[in-house]
Structure formats: structure tokens, C-alpha cells
């Protein structure tokens, strides 16, 4: 499971190893209504093959021509600007006079992409620094708060999982949620002390911690780039993890279960050292209401809500959880003999 950036980096390195010349483009600055954000990447091969996007298709054709004519054989990176004037913005299809700058660098052995990919695969957050004068790249440990920086001399970008997702329980839903979350650049950790569940966990790229949830969550020191979802339905495990997560700076804390069960959970949390304000942060039932029934659908609903929270988007009206309707037939007692 690859994020978009990892796919671009891996493809560029595969092209280099197969004998092709290639260039890697990274957006370093935008003005106005640029179609893609800072940090977006694209890789272009010497024959015009392309992966990734920096403009949603507006300037990619011109980049392909530049790579074919010059950049694939270049010795060092160069800064390329699109849309300086309104006329140019219109020419390139950039909306509302938008402008973007990107660093276009030749992919060589000194680009360090192989080592970078190996570190990302091992769930490390890595800062890659590229010198504009030489094209040489160096790698160093990244931090959650690091962002892309460019001063005209050095391009510094962070790769790997920028967000953390802690999942309590190693059941079937956890597997789907973990695999999907990795595509969204989450570093995923599963916590489950239960032998029967831990023994069946075989998703090698996602580690499982056998410690007690409250101890592990406390040690992880969840920050504003962290989320936690409790999935066991076992209060002895879920509540302990939630107790610590709700007191942390985690941007999202949720729990599986019905509204009735989560209301009961909130009452239980009052008995611990958790304030009313902290309890109010709990998202339960977890996920946007999209009528999901199966584990993959529930995983989509949870990640959709997490994504909305990350981007500061309020819950859309169509995703509001409906009030339960009274069904008299559900209360009928059938006589048996």
C-alpha cells in the first residue's frame, strides 16, 4: 500500500535503475488558487512517461517537453515558475491568476531515493535535503512538525508517515483500517494484549504492541498529529486507551459501538480522571454516517471522518447520524415450544 508521494519516488528510482533518465518535480511555493499544494510531486521519464501531478494536468505537458529537451540530462536541479502574469496563468490553465514554483531535479544515484524508500518502508519519518548547486541529497531523521522549506539554495522536504494512528484491538476491522490508513500517510500502531488476537495478526508492515493500552498510549505521548480509535468492544481495553487519549493533544479520538454503548462509555469515563470537556471530544459512534455495514465500509467511514477533522471540515448534513426509530416488531416476544 503506497501513498501518492511514495509511488512517485519509487517509480522514479525504478526508472533510474532500469537505465532511463528521469526528473523529479516538487512544488515549493504557490500564489493564488494553485491546483495542487506545496510538496506535491511528479516524476517524468525521458520518453515522456509521467507519474504524479503538480497541477492537475495544467503544466504537465510543458514539463514533459522540458524533461525531454533538457532536464533529464541535467546535472543539477533548477527552479521552474509557471503563471507569473495573468496571461501566463491563462496559458497554463492555472485558475484565478494562480502561480506555482517547483524544483525540477535530475534523478541520479546521488539523489538518495533508494535509501529514502528503505527508511520510509520501515515506517521512519525522513527529511531529505537537496543542494541546488550540486544536486546532492542527504537524509536525516524527520520530526512531526517539519514542513517543506526552500531558501533558493537547499530544498528540504519530509517524507514518510506524517500522521500517527493508534488502533486498539487486532480484529478484522483493524486490518482494513490499518491498510487504508497507510495509503493516507499514517504511521499505524496496533495495540492488543490478547493472545488469541495477537497470534493471528500477520500484517507485517504494521507492528503490534502487546502491552496494556493505557500504558502504551501514555508512553507514545500523542500529539496534534495523532489519532486513536478503540475497536475491541471490551471496556477493559478500550476505556483504558480512551482515558489516556482524551487527555492528550490527539486531533481525533473515536470508539466503535452503538450510540447506547458509547453513552454508557461516557458515563464510565466520568469515574476516571477525565473532565467533561475531554469526554466531549470522544467520537462515538465513530465515523461518518454513510450506511456502512461491512468492515471495509466502516473503515472508509472512519477515515472519512478523520480526514474531515484534519482539514477542519464540519460534518456534512447528509452524513449526520440519524435518530433511531422505534420498531415495535423488534420488541415482540415469540413463543417457543
Residue with more model confidence, 31 or 239: 239
Apex CA 222: angle with CA 220 and CA 225, to 5°?
Answer: 130
Give the mean pLDDT of the chain: 86
CA 275 to chain centre: 30
What local confidence, expressed as pLDDT, does residue 256 receive? 95
Q: What would the DSSP string read from start to end of 172-194?
A: HHHHHHHHHHHHTTEEEEEE---
Residue 94 pLDDT level (bands cut at 50, 70, 90): low
Report the pLDDT averaged over residues 255-259.
93
**Cell for 44?**
517524468
Q: What would the DSSP string read from start to end of 207-249?
A: -EE-S-HHHHHHHHT--TTEEEEE-S--HHHHHHHHHHHHTS-
What local confidence, expressed as pLDDT, does residue 179 receive? 94
Residue with more model confidence, 54 or 123: 54
- 263, pLDDT greater than 70: yes
Fold of 163-319: Rossmann fold (3.40.50)
pLDDT by residue (tens digit) across 45-88? 999 999 998 876 678 888 888 888 876 567 899 999 887 555 55
| Residue 161 and residue 125 in contact, taking contact as beta carbons nearer than 8 Å | yes
- 34, pLDDT greater than 80: no
What local confidence, expressed as pLDDT, does residue 11 receive? 95
- 332, pLDDT greater than 50: no
What local confidence, expressed as pLDDT, does residue 143 receive? 80
Domain ranges for the chain, please list them: 4-159, 163-319
DSSP letter (8 states) at residue 24: E
Amino acid at each position: 500500500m503506497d501513498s501518492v508521494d511514495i509511488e512517485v519516488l519509487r517509480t522514479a528510482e525504478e526508472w533510474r535503475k532500469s537505465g532511463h533518465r528521469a526528473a523529479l518535480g516538487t512544488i515549493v511555493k504557490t500564489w493564488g488558487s494553485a491546483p495542487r499544494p506545496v510538496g506535491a510531486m511528479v516524476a517524468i521519464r525521458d520518453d515522456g512517461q509521467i507519474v504524479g501531478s503538480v497541477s492537475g494536468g495544467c503544466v504537465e505537458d510543458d514539463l514533459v517537453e522540458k524533461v525531454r529537451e533538457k532536464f533529464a540530462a541535467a546535472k543539477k536541479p533548477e527552479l521552474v515558475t509557471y503563471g507569473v502574469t495573468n496571461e501566463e496563468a491563462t496559458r497554463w490553465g492555472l485558475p484565478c491568476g494562480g502561480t506555482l514554483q517547483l524544483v525540477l531535479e535530475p534523478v541520479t544515484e546521488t539523489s538518495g531515493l533508494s535509501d529514502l524508500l528503505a527508511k520510509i518502508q520501515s515506517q521512519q519519518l525522513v527529511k531529505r535535503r537537496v543542494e541546488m548547486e550540486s544536486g546532492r541529497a542527504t537524509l536525516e531523521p524527520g520530526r512531526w512538525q517539519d514542513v517543506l522549506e526552500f531558501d533558493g539554495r537547499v530544498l528540504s522536504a519530509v517524507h514518510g508517515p506524517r500522521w500517527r494512528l493508534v488502533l486498539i484491538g487486532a480484529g478484522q476491522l483493524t486490518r482494513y483500517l490499518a491498510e487504508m490508513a497507510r495509503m493516507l500517510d499514517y504511521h499505524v500502531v496496533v495495540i492488543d494484549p490478547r493472545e488469541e488476537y495477537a497470534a493471528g495478526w500477520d500484517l507485517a508492515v504494521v507492528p503490534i504492541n502487546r502491552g496494556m493500552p493505557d500504558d502504551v498510549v501514555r508512553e507514545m505521548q500523542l500529539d496534534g498529529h495523532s489519532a486513536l480509535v478503540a475497536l475491541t468492544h471490551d471496556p477493559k481495553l478500550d476505556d483504558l486507551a480512551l482515558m489516556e487519549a482524551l487527555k492528550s493533544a490527539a486531533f481525533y479520538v473515536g470508539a466503535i459501538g452503538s450510540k447506547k454503548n458509547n453513552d454508557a462509555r461516557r458515563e464510565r469515563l466520568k469515574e476516571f480522571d477525565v473532565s467533561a470537556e475531554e469526554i466531549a471530544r470522544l467520537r462515538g459512534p465513530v465515523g461518518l454516517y454513510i450506511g456502512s455495514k461491512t468492515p471495509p465500509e466502516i473503515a472508509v467511514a472512519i477515515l472519512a471522518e478523520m480526514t474531515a477533522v484534519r482539514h477542519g471540515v464540519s460534518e456534512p448534513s447528509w452524513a449526520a447520524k440519524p435518530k433511531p426509530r422505534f420498531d415495535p416488531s423488534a420488541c415482540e416476544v415469540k413463543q417457543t415450544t
